[in-house]
Structure 1
Amino acid sequence: MLTGNAPTFLGELTFLRRLFLGGNLLTNDPSLGLSFLSSLTDCRSLSELVIGPNRLHGVLPNSVGNLSASLEFLDATGCHINGMIPSEIGNLSNLVSLTLGDNDLIGSIPETIGKLQKIQQLQVYYTEIQGLIPDNICKLTNLGELNLMSNKLYGSIPSCLGNLTSLRTLQLGSNAFTSNMPSALGSLKGILLLNLSSNFLLGPLPQAFGGMKSIVQLQLSGNQFSGYIPTSIGELQNLINLSLSRNILQGPIPESFADMVSLESLDLSLNNLSGTIPKSLEKLLHLSYLNVSFNDLSGEIPNGGTFNNFTAGSFIGNDELCGAPQFHVKACKGNKRTRFSKTKIFLVFILPSIALIIIAAATVIWLLRRRASNTHILVQENSLLYPFNKRISYYEILQATNNFSEDNLIGKGSIGLVYKGIFYNGMVAAIKVFNLQLEAASKCFEAECEAIRNIRHRNLVKVISSCSNPDFKALLLEYMPNGNLEKWLYTHNYYLDMDQRISIMIDNTGRQA
């Protein structure tokens, strides 16, 4: 909890070898910038320097390149450093570890970074760095960890990174990289963690996956990968965590997944995968998390192995799946006639005849009562207003959905997603977020707003508010905790008796579901 300005007199300690100032509340004189770093150039034996986290607002001086030639470790994490990384950083030829994460750095990664031939750990994450990854990084043959997460880097991921056989960790997620995933990364036999999530990578996943024999974590979610999942992925027998969610992958789940015997977490959600869930996945004895929601999967959900521990959330959004009641899907058809099939026959052939008679009688009664109850209904509807009718901001929606967490995802449509949101005043709403990458989404948003303006009915879900700007459009709808009516009418696990079904048909309780 030390405070005050970082002292410049430390430079007088000419025999200093290790200086650790991190984890304090040190500041600096704004007029002097990070001058205390310049003072350390007189410490010619300095080998380790840790200055973060602190509150050292300022620009890295060019004199950082004049620090001791013996310097091996430089850590300036979380120091609120701004400005560019000086090219003189390349003069620190004996650096083994350089960490500049969680700062306000701008500009690009300097080409001189390629001069740090001994470096093993390079971390520049959570900054405003932009531009391309310089090819000179591929000259760092001793590099074991490269972390450039959460910046504004763009362009292609250099294929030459596949030549860095010492790499154990490669994290390039949450940037703006485009183009295909380099198949050369499959040459990294010793890599343990690869994170390319939340970029704009596209095209097929490379068959060369199988070459990463040691990998433990593979994070590729939130891109635009397409095509089939390569069967070679099953060769990754040390893989513990695999996420391919939020892409446009298609085709079946490969049977070879069953060969990934170490797998504990598998996320394939929000793709276009089809076919059945391989029963062979029951062999994955360590699998504790599975998410295949919002695909086009069909057939029976396996019920052996760890599948007994999964919940309905793992399979939601696959209308053609069937299985055990705990998964909230329809029952699979057996060889014998079941009571459900008899019920279905009754609903298809007998119920319509009864319904016609009831509807005719109910219509007469409804017409007689309508005039008397019309005024009462209007008063009742106006009394059900939500706590506020103001337009909601994007940031309120972001907080209400916990940054659009997949745990709050309750529906997927042709033009967007629907999330459950809990607002600061306790209000719960269904938030329909339009996918503006689709050409029809903006027109659909405008059409729905126009329709909502002109329609009022107690059996239609109410619209609470909206959020609209050039980059984001959403409608806030009344949240129905019991799901939709179709689920209750046609899903075996949500049974409605005859009285309830007739009551819905004559418009008494249709809105309760």
Structure 2
Amino acid sequence: MDLSMNKLSNRIPREIGGMQNLAHLSLRQNKLQGSIPDSMSSMVGLESLYLSHNNISRIIPKPLEKLHNLKYFNVSVNKLYGEIPSQGPFKNLSSQVFIHNEALHGSSRFSVPPCPTSSKHRSNRKILLVLFLLLAIAVIFVPTTFVLLWIRHRTGKRAPAQAESLSTIRTERISYNELLQATDGLSKSNLIGFGSFGSVYKGILSNGTAIAVKVFNLQVDVAFKSIDTECEVFRSLLHRNLVEVITSCSNLDFKALVLEYMPNGSLKKYLYSHNYFLDIRQSLSIMLDVACVFEYLHHGCTSPVIHCYLKLSNILLAEDMVAHLSDFGFSKLLGEDESDLYTKTLATFGYIALGTCHEPNRGPGRDEHLEL
């Protein structure tokens, strides 16, 4: 996994230790802070670990000596201090992988000062280390616990109102005039996205609920097929990482879907804008969200679903930065006899999966490619 040069900030999450089968991890040239988590010693399959050119501080965890498969390791240009581990994979490392840190010491072969030998000094150092760790735990976990409790308190208060609001929407039909009023007559100022088959507008209903209105371009013949496909797909799916279709509105001259509004926009905005950034925890969470929803689409449904239109602008982010998959206009529902192949080539050129034109009979593998 190479996440280098991505301007990632904050701490390396402790949960990363659960990736026990990961062989290569590069987080170099980011803005990571805090310490190297001890949990990384559980990544027994790790062969290379690059953490250079960050703002990582504190000591190099001694439990990393357990990583017997580790061959390449680099923590240069950081703010590390303390003793360099000398056993396990550290026996074969050169001094270059530790240069430009604050106060590392250890074996002479690492070109660092020797460790203090005075028992009194060692005792004082241990006491200071324990005090420092206790202070760090207090500084980190006390505010974090307070914030989590505050968020839970606010969520507990808002959740019933939001559920009641959405429940009201689902039990009432939304008329064409109500949609026009909610979007200021489909005003350009409320336009939040557009494509070959239609446009998406932000709207505010009379009860204050924010919605997204996907208006189809009826001048395009394929748009009718897209409407039918989305309705058919969403009628059979239910997953926390899918954009929810609240209702629909249709007459002879107008067809639209009323969708759950995603206030943080698309993943593309965060990856291609200088004004928005994702830290490493958010990045991992979004990757897991997308993986979970595709596992559900391919293997968790009665009839597997192939999305066929996976791109960054179709991965939308809710207020809590949970990723939601949208735009099922090109999707394909597979029957029991179609689980491995079908013959019709789906998706638009420019966003079509690599190899589709040459191997059109592939099934769920079509969703393995992401258009950036």
TM-score (norm 2): 0.35
Question: Which has the greater radius of gyration?
Answer: 1
Higher RCO structure (Cα 8 Å, ≥6 apart): 2
TM-score (norm 1): 0.26
* Larger fraction in helix: 2
